[in-house]
Structure 1
Amino acid sequence: MFRIIFVLDILKGNAVHAIRGERAKYQPIQSKVCNSSTPLEIVSALKPAEVYIADLDRLQHFGDNFELIKKISAKAKTMVDIGAENMDDVRKCAEIANTVILGTETASLDLIKTAAEQFPGGINVSIDIKNGEVLTKDRNMMMKPHELVKLLNGYNIRDIIILELGKVGTGAGIDTDFLRGVVELSKHSVLLGGGIRDMTDINTLKETGVSGALVATAVHGGMIPLELIR
């Protein structure tokens, strides 16, 4: 079954509209399907089955939204990115989320390996991509996205997330050839975040073999029916 996962980018307790990873420019969400930018009110109104949460305060070392995320996790299945950099971060995230997201932007390959061993099947790896390259500080992951996908086949993780940061919040569309290559190489289910415009893109993703999509802008804009995220 194709998964449509609702995205909440949380900054200072508000759900914000993430655009191209330019965090300094994020503003509270403007939605056609909900008249609030408060995450709990949005989740209560939209009733998504599965939620991807990025704690932007924690990612930028400004504090955290852990108590809020814990409340959201009581209402829906959650996967959460807090910008984990060590196992202490992973354990903290595991306490408030169903699945811990380790993004290449902040996590090392060693951390991914250790976390996957300690939380088998409880880790998602987000391959953060900017300008076609893996966004990472770890020399061990400085490779083409397809090469990293292949490397991660040896780890006991749940999903791989292909997060195209330059497309986030833009409705710029999807690169089907690139995604087909990822799906062919990966032993894990593949989720896509960034650039998804509407149901046409969702149907195209299904055809490429992608297992799910992370969506926010298309839901708030009314291009994806609410029943599909429930």
Structure 2
Amino acid sequence: MEWIPVLDVMQGRVVRAVRGDRRSYQPVVSVLCAGSDPVTVAQALCRHAAASVLYIADLDALQGGAVQTDVLRALGAALPGVRFWLDAGFADVVAVRALLAQVGPEVAARIDPVYASESLRDTQALTERIDAADRPGLRAILSLDRRDGQRLDPAGCWEQPARWPARVIVMTLERVGAHTGPDLDTLAEVQRRAPAARLIGAGGVRGVDDLQAAAQAGAVAWLVASALHDGRLPPVRAQGGGGCGPGA
């Protein structure tokens, strides 16, 4: 089971995500490092999890504001060996291309766009190639979002598994930062719809036992933040060196 650390960034600071109620998020307090500077927190998360992938949720963009391109550039410079799964409220492929042009080629080459079902205008983006000539092998990631049993899905992504990319995130927002355990029922539902998909879960992890249960349920990875900041997941020993900044 791969742990993918999550960086929730709002107004240039890392915040603590709780139950998807973005208006109430506060600057993060972590046992891994001091302060809420994105670079400092990202390095600490990646070092602790020996991670080569960092999930970035740009909460400004997700709430209709501008993408925090300065933060992305700073993270790109500080974490040269890391790929970024970026959720920035992308409505379509045009929005992704615009973002890639803004951050510069070096950072753009390491961004995998996350299409959140709550943000997509339609499902065409899930099967359309993005700057394929310059970035062979890039595949979008779909996040199937739900809160309190309701699908956040204006484009109808949940009902079109034939359009889903190879990687699918199962995002249960009311469990994010809530210490209520992973949503394995929804994971199983998505697995039935797309047996060949690589499923990544999000929300609810309280410790290693939850991650083991999620792996047995079919998840290949899980997005984690609160459990790392609270010290409920032990450090991972990097194998053959890491790619997450100083001390990886």
> Would the TM-score normalized by the shorter structure come out above 0.5?
yes
Give the whole-Å Cα distance in 2 for the aligned partners of 1:117 and 1:62: 23
The unaligned stretches of length 5 or more in structure 2 are 102-107, 243-248
Letter in 2 for 1:62: G
* From 148, 168, 174, the counterpart of 2:182: 174
- 1:38 Cα offset (Å): 0.7
Letter in 2 for 1:98: I
Contact 1:121 1:158 in 2 (8 A): no
1:135-154 correspondence runs (5 A): 135-138=152-155, 140-141=156-157, 145=158, 148=159, 151-154=160-163
- 1:113 Cα offset (Å): 3.5
Letter in 1 for 2:57: A
Structure ranking higher on relative contact order (CA contacts 8 Å, 6+ apart): 2
1:66-215 correspondence runs (5 A): 66-74=69-77, 75=79, 76-94=82-100, 96=108, 97-116=110-129, 121-138=138-155, 140-141=156-157, 145=158, 148=159, 151-155=160-164, 157-186=165-194, 187-215=196-224
Contact 2:126 2:140 in 1 (8 A): no
- Which residue matches 2:9? 10
- 1:49 Cα offset (Å): 1.9
Give the whole-Å Cα distance in 2 for the aligned partners of 1:104 and 1:181: 16
Indicate how the Cα distance of structure 1 residues 12 and 154 shifts in structure 2: closer, same or farther if over 3 A, else same.
closer
Q: Which aligned segments of 4 or more residues in structure 1 are displaced greater than 6 angstroms?
A: none
- SS of the residue aligned with 2:216? helix
Greater mean deviation of Cα atoms: 183-192 or 122-131: 183-192
Indicate how the Cα distance of structure 1 residues 203 and 114 shifts in structure 2: closer, same or farther if over 3 A, else same.
closer
* From 39, 52, 59, the counterpart of 1:49: 52
Indicate how the Cα distance of structure 1 residues 45 and 39 shifts in structure 2: closer, same or farther if over 3 A, else same.
same
Give the whole-Å Cα distance in 2 for the aligned partners of 1:117 and 1:40: 27
The unaligned stretches of length 5 or more in structure 1 are none
- 1:190 Cα offset (Å): 0.5
Say how many residue pairs are matched. Answer: 220
Give the whole-Å Cα distance in 2 for the aligned partners of 1:34 and 1:117: 36
Identity within the alignment, %: 27
- Post-superposition Cα deviations, 1:18-55, rounded to whole Å, max 9, x if no partner, equal 11111110000010111121110112233332111111
Letter in 2 for 1:109: D
What is the root-mean-square deviation in Å for CA atoms of aligned residues?
A: 2.2
* From 213, 221, 224, the counterpart of 2:233: 224
Q: TM-score, normalised by structure 2?
A: 0.80
- SS of the residue aligned with 1:63? coil
